[in-house]
Amino acid sequence: MRPTLIAGNWKMNGSLQSVIELVEGIKAGEAGKVKLVVCPPAVYLMKVGGMLDGTDIALGAQNVCDAQAGAYTGEISATMLKECGCEYAIVGHSERRALYQESDELVAHRFAMAVASGITPILCVGESLEERELGVTEAVVARQLDAVIEQQGIAALVQSVIAYEPVWAIGTGKVATPEQAQAVHEFIRHKLAALDQQVAERIQILYGGSMNATNAGDLLSKPDIDGGLIGGASLKAVDFLAIGQSV
Ligand code: 13P
């Protein structure tokens, strides 16, 4: 059995005060049997990392630079994230791909930098509404995965998490049905199994896209859905914890 991972992607939300309150709320509550990860905006990583010391809650970054150090204004290296206490880093979020033109190749480089620093990348993949309607969901997800596999090799995925986030379900309140999500998760696992059975069996595949305490139980009961990457519902401690308790 793969352990369930519930990760909160806070995106560019909150203030120092609200972030402190959110972390205090999560620490004070009961997460159930799941592993929790929180991914605050980068400027709050040190603060949140300090607050999480001595707890089982892990810290994650929302992105990581594809280079080690140097003239990359605005970027943050994997080593710096590691120093802040990050155990995870999201890479290839659809908002990064769409709003900041991050290519499959760039995402693969970011993935590699995380792995090289001992940070577990949470690799996001997923199709747009147009792509789903065209029937190319699997082709899109396969292309996004292949960019990493071809550059880094299948073995690099041992140290990673995949998040299937259909773009049409992100922040829209339109959640994929458990069957729709399971079908893509199963496709991903089968694709990996064709290359490495062990990687496929061990890798955690999270679902992301309007997951909340009401729909999480059904989604997480599916055999290939090993957790969630939560946006909106991770911004309130009770809502975030309720997702963990629904397992
Ligand atoms: P929502 O849960 O707000 O739909 O966001 C999902 C997401 O993008 C997590 O990375």
Give the percent of the chain with pLDDT over 70: 100
- Would you state the structure tokens that stand for residue 49, as one six-digit string? 């990392």
HEC-encoded secondary structure of 151-209 = HHCHHHHHHCEEEECCHHHCCCCCCCCHHHHHHHHHHHHHHHHCCCHHHHHHCEEEEEC
How remote is the CA of residue 210 from the centroid of ligand 1, in Å? 6
Atom of ligand 1 nearest to the CA of 163: 10
Q: Does the beta carbon of 34 lie inside 6 Å of ligand 1?
A: no
∠ CA 191-105-227 to the nearest 5 degrees?
Answer: 45
The protein residue whose alpha carbon is closest to atom 7 in ligand 1 is 231
DSSP annotation of 236: S
Q: Does the beta carbon of 230 lie inside 6 Å of ligand 1?
A: yes
Active site residue 190: no
Q: What is the structure's pLDDT at 1?
A: 80
Beta strands per DSSP E along 4-158: 5-9, 35-39, 58-61, 86-91, 120-125
If one counts the domains in the chain, the total is 1
- Would you state the structure tokens that stand for residue 181, as one six-digit string? 């999500």
- Would you state the structure tokens that stand for residue 123, as one six-digit string? 């690799």
Q: What's the rounded Cα separation, in Å, for the pair 62 and 13?
A: 12
Q: What's the rounded Cα separation, in Å, for the pair 147 and 166?
A: 18
Q: What is the structure's pLDDT at 70?
A: 98
Q: Does the beta carbon of 171 lie inside 6 Å of ligand 1?
A: yes
How remote is the CA of residue 8 from the centroid of ligand 1, in Å? 8
How remote is the CA of residue 86 from the centroid of ligand 1, in Å? 20
Q: What's the rounded Cα separation, in Å, for the pair 113 and 17?
A: 31
Pocket test for ligand 1, best of 210, 212, 234, 240 (most atoms within 8 A of CB): 210
- Helix 45-52, helix 16-28: angle, nearest 10: 20
Q: What is the structure's pLDDT at 21?
A: 98
Q: What is the structure's pLDDT at 92?
A: 98
Range of the domain at 166: 5-245
Low-confidence ranges of the chain (pLDDT < 70): none
Q: What is the structure's pLDDT at 179?
A: 98
Atom of ligand 1 nearest to the CA of 11: 10
Q: Which residue has the tokens 């300090």?
A: 50
Q: Is the dihedral of CA 223, 8, 137, 174 positive or negative?
A: positive
Q: What is the structure's pLDDT at 210?
A: 97
Active site residue 93: yes
Pocket test for ligand 1, best of 5, 6, 11, 127 (most atoms within 8 A of CB): 11
CATH number at residue 59: 3.20.20.70
Pocket test for ligand 1, best of 12, 229, 239 (most atoms within 8 A of CB): 229
Helix (H, G, I), strand (E, B) or coil at 124: strand
pTM confidence score: 0.98
Q: What is the structure's pLDDT at 117?
A: 97
Q: What's the rounded Cα separation, in Å, for the pair 106 and 174?
A: 29
∠ CA 108-114-116 to the nearest 5 degrees?
Answer: 100
- Would you state the structure tokens that stand for residue 187, as one six-digit string? 């496709």
